[in-house]
Amino acid sequence: MSTPPTATGTASIERLPMTLPRLAEKKRLGEAIVMVTAYDFPGARVAEEAGVDLVLVGDSAGQVVLGYESTVPVSVDEMLMLSSAVRRGLRTPLLVGDLPFGSYEASDEQAVATAQRFVKQAGCDAVKLERGGSSVARTRAIVQAGIPVMGHVGLTPQTATALGGYRAQGRTAERALVVARDAVALQDAGCFSLVFEAIPAAVATELMPRLQIPVIGIGAGDAVDGQVLVFHDLLGIGDGMAPRFVKRYAELRGEMVGAVRAFAEDVRAGRFPKAEHTYSIDPEELSGFRAGIADIEGPYPSSSGSSTVARRQT
Ligand code: KIV
């Protein structure tokens, strides 16, 4: 039986790294594209092993790992730290870094400088920025500087306040046309791919024939070329309400709380650690140590005169 051709070569244990031509080829072959977000090294290892095509270090990090109310406060330095950790955990998926709010809108120069930091300092393969409007010119500038750009239209969380909140976009003919114009303008500006977030499936379906680049949806139906979910949403790690477009594939938070609680109970009940969790020392060495420790006086006096032990206890 012959193996069907795929954009990443014939099925083999060693997957080839995802590239922009391979991504475009996946679209041409009608192969679904899979993207997840990741924010740290273990998350990246999971994404790598699960065989996803793209990993996005989304500024959703602001809410799911940094505890902000929205994505707006996220800084470039925070994103670079998270992106670098993800880079160290990835080999095959294409790594996309999300440019945070306020790091690219002011000028083409600002946009290019920020995108360059994501590539040079964090090792990202590409960057993502939100909206149409001024982001179209910023996209063109970044692409001209040699950095691939993913666009993002529909619900754009960085400007959710201006959009009337975290709600689906393009639900009137007028608003759907705004999404359509933004998508086509971003494609023309050189985006290699687009994210459609929270738009009616029927609007996405109408738009797809107008777009030659891969479109990855999140709450945009199944007519798009691929799907993305936030890591913590799909694994059930967060404790808030998930948006309508989320499908949970696990409920890890309950398991995590249960495991930490069991640890706490074991420690308090003296059930942990046991012999198998401790290190041994040769009996002769132990005798020598016991003889030697008699000469060591303690507790040590601190500079203020009170002992370290006493200070810890207060
Ligand atoms: O920040 C993010 O995680 C995103 C995805 C939802 C596409 O932009």
262-273: per-residue pLDDT in tens?
Answer: 999 999 999 999
Q: In degrees, to the nearest 5, what angle opens at C-alpha 113 toward C-alphas 112 and 115?
A: 65
The alpha carbon of residue 245 and the mean position of all alpha carbons in its chain are separated, in whole angstroms, by 17
Question: What is d(CA 310, CA 105) in angstroms, rounded to the nearest whole number?
Answer: 55
The alpha carbon of residue 37 and the mean position of all alpha carbons in its chain are separated, in whole angstroms, by 3
pLDDT bracket for residue 302 (50, 70, 90):
low
Question: What is d(CA 60, CA 82) in angstroms, rounded to the nearest whole number?
Answer: 12
Task: Note whether 301 and 307 are within 8 A (CB).
Answer: yes
Protein residue closest via CA to atom 2 of ligand 1: 58
State residue 188's pLDDT score: 98
Residue 233 CB less than 6 A away from ligand 1: no
Non-local (6+) Cβ contacts of 282 within 8 A are none
Model confidence at 125: pLDDT above 90 = yes
Question: What is d(CA 201, CA 308) in angstroms, rounded to the nearest whole number?
Answer: 65
Protein residue closest via CA to atom 3 of ligand 1: 58
- pTM (two decimals): 0.90
State residue 298's pLDDT score: 75
Where along the chain do its domains lie? Answer: 20-247
Q: Among the atoms of ligand 1, which is closest to the Cα of residue 71?
A: 1
Average pLDDT over residues 111-128: 98
Q: Quote the ligand 1 centre to 57 CA distance (angstroms).
A: 8
Residue 51's nearest CA partner among 84, 3, 15, 24 is 15
- For 20-247, CATH gives 3.20.20.60
Helix (H) or strand (E) holding 124: none
Residue 65 CB less than 6 A away from ligand 1: no
Protein residue closest via CA to atom 5 of ligand 1: 58
DSSP codes, 228-258 = EE-HHHHHT---SPPPTT---S--HHHHHHH
How distant, in Å, are the alpha carbons of 71, 100, 149, 203, 262 from that of 158?
6, 8, 17, 22, 39
Residue 195 CB less than 6 A away from ligand 1: yes
Question: What is d(CA 35, CA 17) in angstroms, rounded to the nearest whole number?
Answer: 14
Let me know if 197 is a catalytic residue: yes
pLDDT tens across 278-288, in order?
A: 999 999 999 99
Q: Quote the ligand 1 centre to 177 CA distance (angstroms).
A: 22
Residue 59 CB less than 6 A away from ligand 1: yes
Q: Quote the ligand 1 centre to 30 CA distance (angstroms).
A: 23
Task: Note whether 236 and 250 are within 8 A (CB).
Answer: yes
The single residue of 48, 197, 251, 255 carrying the catalytic annotation is: 197
Residue 228 CB less than 6 A away from ligand 1: yes
Percent of the chain with pLDDT over 90: 85
State residue 297's pLDDT score: 79
Percent of the chain with pLDDT over 70: 91
